[in-house]
Structure 1
Amino acid sequence: MDIRQLKYFVAVANARNFTRASELLHIAQPPLSRQIQLLEEELGVQLILRNSRPLRLTEAGRMFYEQALQILNRVDQLKTATRQIGLNQQRTLSIGFVASTLYGGLPMLVRKLRLQHPNVDIQLVELTSQQQFAALKSGRIDVGFGRVRGNDSTVARTILREERLVLALPPDSPLAGESSRIALSALEGQKLIVYPKEPRPSFADHVLSLLNDHAVRPAEVHEVREIQTALGLVAADSGLCLIPASARLRSDLCYRLIDDARITSPIIMSHRLNDNAWYIPVIKEMVAAMYAENPPWLDVEHSVFPGGGGAAPSRPAPEAKPPRVRKKPRPA
């Protein structure tokens, strides 16, 4: 088995047609078919079902395809990194993120990375949690910070902390009369705004799942594309919205902490499984150090940290207090 055979197999799997794949690879079809046959003979299993139109992968073929993609991406990264070092060029670190992480620790983390590793070109790519999984496998990003738990076996995930959720509501809402915590059941029969609308699964599905688990049924659910739109509609008295505590962006809204420490949204760091690159331990150590500093954005009383993990506040968390309305700059 060699790299060329992996490339041939991936091309056939993508095109689902030997003729089309041979055209894309600029080789004749017979030698392409022969190389795939030799690959199957070496593995001792069938990878492609040739009697279907378009071609389909066997179960073994699908697994082989995912692994082959990772190997080819790592080979490309190896070539790029070697050239950059040989030519004394900057290394590149691509970080995927969901928008709400900009209101927490991501900016501080990136500043620290740039300060400690000035020769690394750090690129930020806004992607949903689901998009990050595909971007990691394709090599588009190296690390992702999201909020949705995935089940992709090729992606390693570390929960950095669980962030408490708050209910955003207009100031004249009957539920805004008190500054204390509020039960999740208060959303029963209310108009609910969730985000993002797509792609799914997303934070919207996480919120809806929490409500379903607690048998809370909103009167209707309005889906929008981003958090800024959701909070704008709340301000227009079009519904209520559950958001992470750090994402209280508008000062013209009221925010009430959900009175259940289990109603949270995770901050998840994702990277390729078995990725031993230098930046994985560096980022984890930086996050732990950031949490130990207990910066204002961490909002310790609204965070739950993994038991036994290294990312714990340096001082005991104070007793939880009702969320305050705080003015924060709008994202650029």
Structure 2
Amino acid sequence: MELRQLRYFVAIVDHGSLSRAARVLHIVQPALTQQIQQLEEELGASLLHRSAQGMQATDAGKIFYEHALAILKQIADAKSAVAQSTDKPTGTVALGIPQSASGALAFPLLTAVRAAYPDIVFQLTEELTGNLTEQLASGRLNLAILFDDGQLGKFHTKTLVEEQMMYITRANSQFACKRKSITLDKVLQSPLILPSIQHGVRPRIEQVVRAQGKQIENVIDITSIAILKSAILADMGATILPISPFFAEIQRGEMCATPISDVTLSRTVSLCASKNIPLTNAAMAVERLVLDVSRDLCESGRWLGAKSLAEMKPVKSCSPSN
């Protein structure tokens, strides 16, 4: 198996066409076809099939595609690590962030990276926590923001913040609490709209509820934070989440957040890296920025309901511009 075969295969899947991939790769189509046939013979599996939409990966091809991307990225990172200097890091850094944390951290971090390290190609991916864990382990991501559920031992981790989770409803909702705080029993009496189990926050909620000898009986599972917001605004129920994904709606008076008084419901947000794949200088520079930016957001009050747990001291030149 040759690296060029991996590049050829990825190009075909990305472009959905042998002819388009051949043009991008600057090779003739028969030669491209021959290389893919040799790759399939070596693997003993068909990787591509032709459909009305063009060339698409088979089930085996989809699995191989993920591995090919990870291998090609690690090779690119290795070349970048050898070539770059510590004073002016360059190269590509891929960071994954969960949907429920991106509202607070994504844009400030993107701004900070562009300002401090313009030569770094920064790839910011928003995904479900389960997908981020798989991509980080395989090497497709250099770094990932994950929620500490006690299962992060296979990664190098640096703690960022602790976020308080609250009872959130539509303003003037039939499920809204009229007091300054609400008990867990009252929360569980409402229909709850919660992220699905693939989100790192859901297992934490379930754990706390079970520890109180209770269970969530009336729940609507929604994977998308955007759809979850729509369901709350339609007054289909309430949710238990940190404030940050709903900051804009709360500011506009469309939603309200009430503390839960009799249990501690919070999540710990960590920055994670693989234990098996070393970070490039560029990735280490972004790692430092994530720590600095998260602290700055907490200290300035822009990350609502979050308390900084980062260990590194802030670097003024790395803070995002206001």
Partner of 2:53: none
Partner SS for 1:135: helix
Partner SS for 1:149: coil
In structure 2, relative to structure 1, the CA distance for the partners of 1:81 and 1:282 (3 Å cut) is closer
In structure 2, relative to structure 1, the CA distance for the partners of 1:117 and 1:220 (3 Å cut) is same
Partner of 1:177: 178
In structure 2, relative to structure 1, the CA distance for the partners of 1:311 and 1:165 (3 Å cut) is farther
Partner of 1:296: 301
Partner of 2:208: 210
Identity, % of aligned pairs?
16
Contact 2:102 2:126 in 1 (8 A): no
The CA deviation string for residues 165-216 of structure 1, in whole angstroms up to 9 with x for no partner, is 11112323354323x1222232233211111x36x36322322222222233
Aligned-partner residue type, residue 145 of structure 2: F
In structure 2, relative to structure 1, the CA distance for the partners of 1:129 and 1:28 (3 Å cut) is closer
Partner of 1:255: 257
Equivalent runs, 1:1-332 vs 2, <5 Å = 24=39, 74-75=74-75, 77-79=77-79, 91-147=91-147, 149=149, 151=151, 153-170=153-170, 171-173=172-174, 175-178=176-179, 180-195=180-195, 197=196, 200=198, 202-248=200-246, 249-250=248-249, 251-259=253-261, 262-273=264-275, 275-290=278-293, 291-292=295-296, 294-299=299-304, 302-306=305-309, 309-310=311-312
In structure 2, relative to structure 1, the CA distance for the partners of 1:134 and 1:288 (3 Å cut) is closer
Larger radius of gyration: 1
Contact 2:168 2:256 in 1 (8 A): yes
Partner of 1:44: none
In structure 2, relative to structure 1, the CA distance for the partners of 1:276 and 1:129 (3 Å cut) is same
Deviation at 1:80, TM superposition (A): 5.8
Contact 1:287 1:311 in 2 (8 A): no
Partner SS for 2:163: strand
In structure 2, relative to structure 1, the CA distance for the partners of 1:139 and 1:218 (3 Å cut) is closer
Note the residue ranges of structure 1 that are not aligned, 5 or more in a row.
5-21, 30-68, 313-332
Aligned-partner residue type, residue 265 of structure 2: I
| Structure with bigger RCO (C-alpha 8 Å, 6+ apart) | 2
Distance between the aligned counterparts of 1:123 and 1:193, measured in 2? 31
In structure 2, relative to structure 1, the CA distance for the partners of 1:216 and 1:305 (3 Å cut) is farther
Aligned-partner residue type, residue 247 of structure 1: P
Q: TM-score, normalised by structure 1?
A: 0.62
Partner of 2:62: none
Partner of 2:13: none
Aligned-partner residue type, residue 123 of structure 2: Q
Distance between the aligned counterparts of 1:152 and 1:23, measured in 2? 39
The more displaced of 149-158 and 97-106 is: 149-158
CA RMSD of aligned residues (A): 3.6
Contact 2:163 2:268 in 1 (8 A): yes
The CA deviation string for residues 235-293 of structure 1, in whole angstroms up to 9 with x for no partner, is 22221101112122423222112236731122221111163432454344334433247
Distance between the aligned counterparts of 1:131 and 1:271, measured in 2? 14
Distance between the aligned counterparts of 1:28 and 1:305, measured in 2? 48
The more displaced of 270-279 and 115-124 is: 270-279
Question: Across the two proteins, how many residue pairs are aligned to each other?
Answer: 246
Distance between the aligned counterparts of 1:78 and 1:137, measured in 2? 17
In structure 2, relative to structure 1, the CA distance for the partners of 1:153 and 1:266 (3 Å cut) is closer
Deviation at 1:120, TM superposition (A): 0.8
Aligned-partner residue type, residue 303 of structure 2: L
Deviation at 1:113, TM superposition (A): 1.3
The CA deviation string for residues 46-105 of structure 1, in whole angstroms up to 9 with x for no partner, is xxxxxxxxxxxxxxxxxxxxxxx99996445314655899xxx96111111112222213
In structure 2, relative to structure 1, the CA distance for the partners of 1:284 and 1:183 (3 Å cut) is farther
The more displaced of 254-263 and 266-275 is: 254-263
Contact 2:144 2:273 in 1 (8 A): yes
